Structure 1
């Protein structure tokens, strides 16, 4: 790296890798530091990658994750040997709703993209031992070495106690008592190749749960909930696998045990330092809300840091990172805590309610996890509310949020690609047929220094059907952020109210 880094990213896991790629996409020079000697291989770890995260990775140059991942479609939930219910993902656009792929392969793909990006430098064996801030930047201490950058993005993982402590950030929450045994196996399991299976109280793990996920190449990930004091020996693992696969041949590829934590940082921005991923929040994995929340952290931080560093917005924009992503973390905590209370009841009353729900087939009360979804920034200081299009609250399980200010833009096919691909290079204004595009370009170009595109909805697809698919009115203007979230939907739109919404969306006053 010829010049001094503009952002130091601490941690070279998938969140740190994503952040580096997304910052470099905005022309920002990035230095990535990691305390490990190099990339560790092996183990599936975080496997479920949600559609909107695949979209982010595609924009970052890592579209191979979606291409190589196994796109499963159906989730089945059982009580013992009886199926309680199943559900399928709601289809939206060309990307699969979810793919399963090992974290180690995801990291390889992200590393390949980083290697092709001259604005990123990765330094292994750089343990961060201290941080100090002043009015112009952050000094990062790695032993005797001092490094400096205007901003730091901490993606240092769950064990970053010293870093959080140095920033005065609390990380309160709880640790669940039960352990979980996780195994990767290779086996031929006909009919299971595209289904996630969740078992409550199976005869081969009485009183606890088992989760089975298909992965690429005929491999499967199996999670057993096990007792807090159980130490599985090789014979125990073999017996447990046999109880799932029967007498079929199988190969054990990897195994580990762990406990779940539910914790959220008290602050995700401290001055010039932003916290992202497991460094900022830990949740139980049922619903795959860990990495699928960490990558949106990285995207949210990246475009805002880039706007500030490029002089397109004031530093006050960075406070919205905490406002938006901390709210997302609390939403994930609420959802996963409810799931864990059902999976591991803490009281007699909770155990009785769970038993009644499972044995009585009361499907609405059974909670095996709500799958990850993009958070809605309806209450963000960057969002301009519109009473005629209110956010309707958390959607039903498996459903999509109707378009509204704060909600992510639906991803649909248009000539030249997916709709969201046209949002990644700056702000995008989408106009109905009754709006004069030339007038908007003339006015908005004077008030926005950041990259800006103004497009007619009919122009986007050449038929006018895009407006119908979005539910956009002919006199409406839609302001779309660089992370594809809708900042404003303005009826009877003129350039001035759109300019005011644009000012709000980059952290300024809505009064022009």
Structure 2
């Protein structure tokens, strides 16, 4: 089996991608895997490699980037951390490591600057003939009809595409206005000072540290992340009227930094002040237009759910556009882009808003409650569960999606404890593990799942029935026997798979169905459901 899908020629105009940030880059590269040409435009004159920006790349996102040849390089150049520590003043309240079902290809989190991530993705784009990247193109109008989307440019030119994916970033208010979508939500008054500092702190090089009310930032919080090249990203919560230029000029910024790192040499690589927002558009699909990443949703960065979520938007959009455009799925499949990814955005808003309410309590009652929780957490394990320093990024589980076939033997038990993942089942991302391919080579389970639909069969299932059902469905569908590809049982154990089951995997490596002793009609029904054939267009 190939490591890349091998579809026929794309039948229409290229897909347009607005915005050349990491979400736009990922979208274009993933579409290219499906044989879909793209024109990616950005209003900036060129790449602007300034600051660390989004630094924390989650394991499952690295898997997505590895599908386009970039994940391993990003992971190898980044700093790996596996432990999250939380402090209240001078006391460590708790720490936790991350669950690793199966045998993942990547560590739970890797820290690397967004700037470097973009450079690595640019290298992949330069090597991909199906991606046409154009700088210096400002969009002033967007129109669509039954066959495509037309984008008018400020220089008088225009572009025509079969579909459009808007990845214009947080500040694309004009694009949202052109599309007629709302962007409701909340903006927080407190600011956060961010400094990238190069210095020698070897004992902090492999862990994320979060401090509530430290003596060197009384009444507020500090977050410290290790980054490559002996650089540390430090985020201070600061008052709404904080003046970075004044603090730098007075020497107070130097004093602020030295309260953390002590009397050692350091260099400020980048500094900035941010105001955080919790906002989401009301619609992420408008006929042939999909909205992704920060253009669609903004969340506070505690938990690293911004860029990571945007990459999952990109993957969801890419395989669905490819399947519809190639004629393997009905147009209604694109409706599930909105329902799945809008639900993911809303969950992120819920999680990060709860974090911000804990970090910046909106009233005296919640301030007292927070103080009580933090005071008790040093000695009371039960109180630690209520300490919210940011639930770290995790995939959204499509358990309620119209594309998912429920399995009464594997009901979803809800959001697991932080650092954990739910048991494998319908809607959940496939645990990764090494496998042996049918031709005897070594591969990864998720890499094969991303080539199309994948059916994993148990030892007692009827392979003839499974293959006949797979052959009746349009588009790439592969069938692999678990006992042949998983000789040491790592993947089978991570799944909890039984010999009488068939596991149906979507092209984004999420589990679409687990079928027990299925007939051919059961398999066909699960595949047609997972490609949106039963979805009613909104």
Deviation of the 1:42 alpha carbon: 2.3
Pairing 1:449–2:465 present: no
1:29-44 equivalent positions in 2, closer than 5 A: 29-44=37-52
CA contact (8 A) 2:501 2:518 kept: yes
Q: Does structure 2 retain, via aligned residues, the 8 Å contact 1:503–1:509?
A: yes
Q: Distance in 2 between matches of 1:477 and 1:366?
A: 41
Change (3 A) 1:31 1:474: same
Shift of the 426–3 alpha-carbon distance from structure 1 to 2, 3 Å rule, reads closer
Shift of 1:469: 3.2
Counterpart in 2 of 1:467?
492
Name the stretch that deviates more: 462-471 or 89-98. 462-471
- State the partner residue of 1:192: 204
Report what 1:409 is aligned to.
Answer: 430
Q: 1:245 is matched with which residue: 253, 257, 261? A: 261
Q: Find 1:476's aligned residue among 490, 501, 507.
A: 501
For the pair 1:142 / 2:142, whether they are aligned, the reply is: no
Root-mean-square deviation (CA, aligned residues, Å) is 1.4
TM, length-normalised to structure 2: 0.93
CA distance in 1: counterparts of 2:492 and 2:190, whole angstroms: 50
Paired position in structure 2 for 1:183:
195
Question: Where does residue 389 of structure 1 map in the other structure?
Answer: 410
The structural deviation recorded for 1:466 is 3.5
Q: 1:146: how far off? A: 1.1
Match for residue 354 of structure 1? 370
d(CA) in 2 for partners of 1:468, 1:4: 43
User: CA separation in 2, counterparts of 1:194 and 1:118?
Assistant: 38
What residue is the counterpart of 2:28 in the other structure? 20
Tell me by how many angstroms 1:473 deviates: 1.1
Given that residues 185 and 252 in structure 1 are in contact (C-alpha distance below 8 angstroms), is that contact kept between their aligned partners in structure 2? yes
- Structure 1: runs of 5 or more not aligned: none
Structure 2 counterparts to residues 5-404 of structure 1, below 5 A: 5-63=13-71, 64-92=73-101, 93-143=104-154, 144-232=156-244, 233-234=247-248, 235-361=251-377, 362-404=383-425
Structure-2 separation of matches of 1:316 and 1:399:
34
What SS class does the counterpart of residue 24 from structure 2 fall into? Answer: helix
Residue-pair matches, total: 508
Post-superposition shift, 1:51? 0.4
C-alpha distance 311-3 of structure 1, shift in aligned 2 (>3 A): closer
Rounded Cα–Cα distance in structure 1 between residues aligned with 2:340 and 2:30: 18
Structure 1 distance, partners of 2:186, 2:523, is: 44
Q: 2-side partners of 1:280 and 1:344: how far apart?
A: 24
1:255-313 C-alpha deviation (Å, 9 max, x unpaired)? 01110000011000011100000000000000000001000000000000001111111
SS at match of 1:172: strand
The question of whether the paired residues in 2 share the 8 Å contact of 1:411 and 1:418 is answered with yes
CA separation in 1, counterparts of 2:189 and 2:533? 46
C-alpha deviation, 1:218, in angstroms: 1.0
Q: Is the 8 A contact 1:5 1:31 kept in 2?
A: no
Check conservation: 1:11, 1:157, Cα contact below 8 A.
yes
User: C-alpha separation between the residues in 1 aligned to 2:173 and 2:90?
Assistant: 43
Q: Which runs of 4+ in 1 moved over 6 A?
A: none
- Measured in 2, the distance between the counterparts of 1:430 and 1:19 equals 27
Could you list the per-position Cα deviations for residues 292-338 of structure 1 after superposition, in whole angstroms to 9, with x for gaps in the alignment?
Answer: 10000000000000011111111110000001000000010000000
Tell me how far apart the structure 2 counterparts of residues 228 and 462 of structure 1 sit (CA, whole Å). 58
Task: Tell me by how many angstroms 1:60 deviates.
Answer: 1.3
Structure 2 Cα separation of the partners of residues 488 and 314 of structure 1: 20
Give TM-score scaled by structure 1 length. 0.97
1:417 CA displacement: 2.2
**Worse-superposed segment, 464-473 or 180-189:** 464-473
Q: Assess if the C-alpha contact under 8 Å between 2:432 and 2:491 holds in 1.
A: no
Report the CA distance between 1:3 and its aligned residue: 11
Deviations 1:463-505 (A, max 9, x none): 5554233211111111000000000001112221011010000
Deviation at 1:345, TM superposition (A): 0.5
Query: How big is the shift at 1:187?
Result: 0.8
Q: In terms of mean alpha carbon deviation, does 401-410 or 155-164 score higher?
A: 155-164
Q: Work out the CA distance in 2 between the residues paired with 1:150 and 1:115.
A: 23
